[in-house]
């Protein structure tokens, strides 16, 4: 995909930060997508029609919708599909920010389509949209230590030693979002 096809001033970009609702999950590894959006926006409004917290802005002249579904991670597909319908965007205009076990802590990458890497939130989105061809910002959280189950690991808060990396990861992901929105970064 080139910058022209992802950055049309007339086509909005829907950026979805994945996470789980509630204070118990707010600082867990699984919520890094929502944390990125929290760092980008001062406040979100509740849009009950799409079951998400949203804020609209402009980046480089392009309309950008930042959204955090109110559903649990594994049920993100319904809200993402509702957001896409409400804002009239295609899967190619959707950018999902999510945690990634297969990347070292602090690594942030941009990817278009492809495999879902066992990520249940992405699986549900792909199922609801009927395609895997949407953009993703993968925020590395590393692998669980020892024999800890990945499902347990992602629901744990970042350790004290990892916490200084979190604002850097969020800033790196936010920079990628801005780059995609303005056409400075393409896949």
Residue identified by tokens 């890094």 is 32
Residue identified by tokens 């995609």 is 180
Residue 25 known to bind ligand: yes
Q: Which of 181, 94, 159, 101 is CA-nearest to residue 129?
A: 94
95 contacts: CB under 8 Å, gap ≥ 6:
13, 14, 15, 16, 134, 135, 136, 137, 177, 180
Between CA 103 and CA 125 the distance in angstroms is: 21
Residue 87 known to bind ligand: no
Q: Annotated catalytic, 53?
A: no
Residue 20 known to bind ligand: no
Catalytic member of 30, 53, 98, 119 = 30
Residue 86 known to bind ligand: no
Q: Which of 155, 180, 185, 3 is CA-nearest to residue 94?
A: 180
Binding residues: 25, 72, 74, 120
Active site residues: 30
Binding site for tRNA: residue ranges? 25, 72, 74, 120
């Amino acid at each position: 995909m080139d910058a022209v096809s992802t950055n049309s001033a007339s086509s909005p970009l829907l950026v979805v930060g994945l996470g789980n609702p509630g204070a118990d999950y707010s600082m867990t590894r699984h919520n890094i997508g929502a944390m990125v959006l929290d760092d980008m926006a001062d406040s979100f409004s509740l849009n009950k029609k799409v079951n998400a917290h949203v804020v609209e802005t402009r980046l480089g002249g392009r309309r950008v919708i930042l959204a955090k579904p109110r559903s649990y991670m594994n049920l993100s597909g319904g809200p993402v599909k509702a957001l896409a319908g409400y804002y009239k965007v295609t899967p190619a205009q959707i950018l999902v920010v999510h945690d990634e076990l297969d990347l070292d802590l602090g690594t942030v990458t941009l990817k278009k389509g492809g495999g879902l890497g066992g990520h249940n939130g992405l699986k549900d989105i792909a199922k609801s949209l009927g395609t895997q061809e949407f953009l993703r910002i993968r925020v590395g959280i590393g692998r669980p230590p020892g024999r800890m189950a990945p499902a347990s690991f992602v629901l744990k808060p970042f350790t004290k030693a990892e916490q200084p990396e979190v604002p850097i990861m969020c800033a790196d992901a936010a920079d990628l979002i801005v780059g995609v929105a303005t056409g400075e970064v393409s896949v």
